[in-house]
Every structure is written in structure tokens, then in C-alpha cells.
Structure 1
Amino acid sequence: MKEFTEEQAKEELNRKQQKFSPKDFAKLIAKGDVLKNKFKTRKKLSKFVKDFKVLFAMVKDYYKGNYKKVPWYIISSIGATLLYVLLPTDAVPDFIPFVGYIDDATIFSLCLKIANTEVKNYLKWKEENTQDNQNPIPN
């Protein structure tokens, strides 16, 4: 099997991002535990567990109306990326041994690059708006 390139990841993310709509939020939020489990148990994704938690919290805060200071392009890119990770039959099907999650990890990494500045802004906002002795991002 050929390598999943960053260029392919850009094309796939762009395609998925353009299709992401506000109605997709509920589906994404409902699958939070499934996503968290994938990030914790899949080798290619496990290095992104902390990043996943931040992005998922950001999407939830946006959906609930708590944090709207992020452009739609960024929030839809994050949402599309997380939905992509949920799909077992994406560009490289997850059931293929050793390589099944390469595309997921590549797209997730690309999303982190795209959203980097907005994630920093979100974390600053989250810290400023979290009560004392409370972790701003849930475990």
C-alpha cells in the first residue's frame, strides 16, 4: 500500500471540511467516548490524546455557544477531522493492519497545524474562564 501523503490529507480534509455543517455537531458530540477511545487505544493516534481533548472541548464549547471567537473554517475543519477519524472506511480503512490509522493521524496532524493559533486563543480563553482548582480541559 502506498503512503498517505500530506497532499492527500489536505485534499481529503478540504473535501470533508466543505461538507461539515452545524447539524453534524450533535453526531460528533454523541460519539465523544468512541473518539476518545480511538485516540487512547490506537498507536498512530495515541500521541494526539491531549490534542484531541482540546479540540473536542473547543468544538463542544462552540456548539454550546460558550466560545464563538473562532472562524467557521477552523471549527468545521476540526469537526470534519474528528468525524473522519470516526469513519472505519476512510481513505485507508482502519482494519488494515499496521497502516489503518495512518490517514487519520496525518489528517489530524494537518488539522492541528491549521488550527494552531485558534487553539492557543481558545486555551487562553478557557483558562481565563475556568474557576479556580478546576482543570480547563477534561481528562
Structure 2
Amino acid sequence: MGSVTSIQENCEEQAQDPEAPPLTRALARAQQLYNIAILNFGVADLRSITRLLRCSLSGTYKVDRQTLVVLGGAVIYVAMPCDAIPDFIPVLGYLDDAYILRQAITTCLSEIRRFQQWEEEQQRNK
């Protein structure tokens, strides 16, 4: 694993790359938020959300509609360039994104944990 500075630089590049998939850009922006210590959840939860959404959309993992809407909406909000507080404002620009992500994860934490357990079971069964 690289230094915090190199990880942050990589995330900043991915977040600004218009060619990157939207989920990758959203995850990179969420990582930026995490690196500036606004959020209090782990990067593993952010990555799990991305995988949960992909598995749900592909039909390999069933998730209730409310969870899908909350997590999908949070990812879309983070990926959108237009926010309640523009992102070009240092620190404050990410505050609304951090709040939305934090609320989404808090709301759906039990489903995220169930998904992580499901993934572990899938790995053991291979």
C-alpha cells in the first residue's frame, strides 16, 4: 500500500478523469473525503457499496428497493458535479458529499454487512 499522499494523488486523478466510470469517480471522491478525515467509516465500506450496487444491478445479489435507492442515490450525488456546496470550495465543498455518504452508510449499514458476509461465503464456496 502506498503512502497517504500517493493514494490521495491517485484518487484526485481518478476523481477528475472524465473517462473513468461514474462509480470509479464517485469512489475516488469518497476516498478524498475519507483522506481529509471528514468521514468515520472505512474505505472497505465504500468499496462494498460499489460491489453491492454492481451485484444488485446484475442480479447476483438481491437487495431491497430502499437500500438500492439510498445507496445508488448517494453514489450519484457524489458523482454529480453540481452539489449544494460547490466542490471547488476547499473542505466545505466536500462537506455535503460527506454528509450524504455518511447518512447513506448509516441507514444501510446492516445491509452492507450482510452483503460483506455474503461475499465471504461466495469466496469460501469457490
Asked if the contact 2:23–2:79 (Cα under 8 Å) also holds between the matched residues in 1, the reply is no
1:95 to 80, 88, 100: 88
Q: Does 1:33 align with 2:27?
A: no
Percent of aligned pairs sharing the same letter: 27
CA 1:114 to 1:49, structure 2 compared with 1: closer, same or farther past 3 Å?
Answer: same
Which residue of the partner structure matches residue 61 of structure 2?
67
Asked if the contact 1:92–1:103 (Cα under 8 Å) also holds between the matched residues in 2, the reply is yes
CA shift for structure 1 position 47: 5.8
Which structure 1 residue ranges, 5 or more long, are not aligned?
A: 1-28, 135-139
| TM-score (normalizing by structure 2) | 0.72
CA–CA separation in structure 2 for the residues paired with 1:67 and 1:99: 36
CA shift for structure 1 position 39: 2.5
Q: How many aligned residue pairs are there?
A: 104
| Counterpart code for 1:31 | P
Give runs of ≥4 in structure 1 deviating > 3 Å.
44-48
Which residue of the partner structure matches residue 46 of structure 2?
52
Deviations 1:73-126 (A, max 9, x none): 111110000000011221111111220000110110101111011111111111
Which structure 2 residue ranges, 5 or more long, are not aligned?
A: 1-19
Please state whether the residue corresponding to 1:56 is helix, strand or coil. Answer: helix
| TM-score (normalizing by structure 1) | 0.66
| Counterpart code for 2:94 | Y
**Whose helix proportion is higher, 1 or 2?**
2
